[in-house]
Amino acid sequence: MELRTERLILKKLDRRNAEDLFVYRSKEEVRKFQSFHPRSLQQVEEFFQDLAEMPDIEDTWFQLGIHLKEEKKLIGDLGLHFLPDGCQVEIGYTLDPSYQGKGYATEAMHEILKYLFEKLQKHRITASVDPLNEKSIRLLERLGFRREAYFVKGLFYEGAWVDDVIYAMLREEWVEGMKTTQNNSL
């Protein structure tokens, strides 16, 4: 699987990306909002062992690398958790802080939503977000996700109970959003 945008290539993350993944996932500003923050390259190698080889296999995680098209450089990753019902996907994303604020996350997320809703015909996409991660929340809202739940101390993370916010989008909301975008561009 490979998706292309104007500036990005989204393709299966592989072991050749291990060092780049380790570098940005180890940064403190990334670590505080991610459940996977490796402390060694060995942990990154172990991470790859648990990933699905192909997308759209129920109850698996499939990880895509976000690469700059021109430089062929890994700048982030997208995780897709294909839920057991076959109709829903949980999505997670990470972008190297050096590349944030340039529209790359919006571009990558838009393309993956298009793939999930239009090609795979998924019914619902969700994202779990730390309520302190304001950048991530703004991204989801900009893309048309809506807040569905706020769980107070609903997630046990690094030895403490923390709050968790769930955002979601239905396929019909995606379709309606695309119609609105097309009408506004006329």
CATH of the domain at 122: 3.40.630.30
pLDDT of residue 92: 94
Return the pLDDT at 183: 66
Other Cβ atoms within 10 Å of 119 Cβ, number: 12
DSSP 17: G
pLDDT tens-digit readout, 10-25: 999 888 888 888 888 8
* Beta carbons within 8 Å of 146's beta carbon, 6+ residues apart: 167, 168, 169, 173
Domain of residue 15, residue span: 2-184
pLDDT at 45: 79
How confident is the model at residue 113, as a pLDDT? 97
The 10s digit of each residue's pLDDT in 4-58 is 999 999 999 888 888 888 888 887 777 777 777 677 778 777 777 777 788 999 9
pTM above 0.75, yes or no: yes
133-139 long-range Cβ contacts below 8 angstroms, 24+ apart:
133/33, 135/100, 136/33, 136/93, 137/165, 137/167, 139/105, 139/106, 139/109
The length of the chain is: 186
Q: What's residue 185's pLDDT?
A: 60
Report the 10 Å Cβ neighbour count for 163: 15
Which pLDDT belongs to residue 165? 97
Q: Looking at residue 186, what is its pLDDT?
A: 54
CA separation for the pair 88, 93 (Å, rounded): 17
**Count of structural domains within the chain:** 1
- Taking the chain (186 residues) in runs of 10, the rounded mean pLDDT of each run is 95 87 81 72 78 88 94 92 96 94 96 97 97 95 97 90 96 90 64
Contact yes or no for 23/42 (Cβ under 8 A): no
